[in-house]
A = this chain, B = another copy of it.
Amino acid sequence: MLPTPASGSFDAGVHRFAVRVYFEDTDLTGVVYHANYLRYMERARSDMLLLVGIDQAGQLAAGEGYWTVADIAIAYKRPARMGEDLIVESRVTRVRAAATVMSQAIVRGTETLTEAVVTAAWLDRHGRPQRQLAAWATAFEALRRQASSEI
């Protein structure tokens, strides 16, 4: 049986995605280079979108548009190290006409390493904001409600 790549899943509106730290992710200070946590978070968002039914590669190839990061606020609390297994937790916190806001955390066991708020905007092929599909907004809104009532 062939091995499969990491794939995330939802639990009560929270998307969880696993990442392992490799040499490529670290820098000479011995820990993960700060910009690379953004790559981990993007992998998790891409996986989440796929589970929501959004085929980013297909949308882009069909000229229908693409998701882009409009802004990020990220706080680095503890470093991750080579060989560690991390989980990226993603929660939808707000659904707007042309954007979806998520809260993402990278955790190692019970420790939170990094926390971010990310606004993902849906653009047309020319890079202009466009209204997201009703089906997507509905799916994101359902996830938001589930995650916010999680406590």
Contacts and interface: CB of A to CB of B under 8 A. Distances in A.
Interface of A: 2-9, 16-20, 22-24, 26-31, 33-36, 38-39, 42-43, 46, 50, 55-57, 60, 66, 68-76, 79, 81-83, 85, 87, 127
Contact of A57 (B7, B57, B82): B82
B71 A71 contact: no
A87 B2 contact: yes
A72 to B, nearest CB: 5
17 contacts: A2-B16, A2-B87, A3-B7, A3-B17, A5-B19, A5-B85, A24-B42, A26-B27, A27-B28, A28-B29, A28-B82, A35-B39, A35-B42, A50-B83, A56-B83, A68-B76, A71-B75
Contacts of A23: 27-29, 33, 42, 46, 56
Contacts of A24: 27, 33, 35, 39, 42-43
Contact of A72 (B5, B50, B73): B73
A103 to B, nearest CB: 14
B39 A22 contact: yes
A28 B66 CA distance: 10
